Structure 1
Amino acid sequence: MYWMFLVLAGCFEVCGVINLKLTEGFTKLKPTLFFFLFMGLSLLFLSLSLVEVPISIGYGIWTGIGASGSVLLGMFLFNEPKNWKKLALVGGIIACIISLKVVS
């Protein structure tokens, strides 16, 4: 269950970052509210996961999910540049996330 909390925390972080982009410098109310909601949920689920998951593993996985998810969604939702190098590097982050889970 704690690992599921960690995955949820990472997914909510990605949702928060996407809404951060949509706030346009906190000038748009709806995305600003969603940003705070998603980031609050992200931190809540991260804190719940850290009851059982070591912080060295949990924080690394949480930031990895957030980073890789943000890069991928940035490419597909906001037409950020896409190339094989960027995708390969995101693949490396995902491989590291999986490796952290395996060794824990």
Structure 2
Amino acid sequence: MAWVSLVVAGLFEMFGVAMINKLHKDRNWQAFVLLVAGFGASFLFLAHSMKTLPMGTAYAIWTGIGASGGAILGMVLYGEPKDSKRMFFIALVLGAAIGLKLIS
């Protein structure tokens, strides 16, 4: 269950990052509320997962999901570059997170 909470925390982290971009574009209170809610939920699920998982592993995977997911969202939703070097390094981040899961 801790791993599910950790993945959900990472997904909320991605949502929060997307809301930062939306807030910069729209400058409205709804985007701000969604940003706070996304990051708040992310921290709650991360804290829940850390009751069972080691802090270093949980934090590394949480940041990996958030960082790579944010980069992917930027490419898909906001037209950021999709070159092969970016994709390679995103794959490295995800591969490292999967590796940590396999050895934990």
Q: Please state which band the TM-score falls in when normalised by the shorter chain.
A: over 0.9
TM-score (norm 2): 0.97
Q: Give the equivalent residue in structure 1 for 2:78.
A: 78
SS in 1 for 2:24: coil
Give the alignment of 1:51-90 within 5 angstroms.
Answer: 51-90=51-90
Shift of 1:30: 1.1
**Runs of at least 5 residues in structure 2 that lack an aligned partner in the other structure:** none
Runs of 4+ in 1 over 3 A off after TM superposition: none
CA distance in 2, matches of 1:13, 1:95: 19
**Runs of at least 5 residues in structure 1 that lack an aligned partner in the other structure:** none
Aligned residues: 104
TM-score (norm 1): 0.97
CA distance in 1, matches of 2:17, 2:28: 14
Question: What residue identity is the alignment partner of 1:50?
Answer: M
The Cα RMSD (Å) is 1.2
- Kindly, what percent of the aligned residue pairs are identical? 38
Contact 1:10 1:63 in 2 (8 A): yes
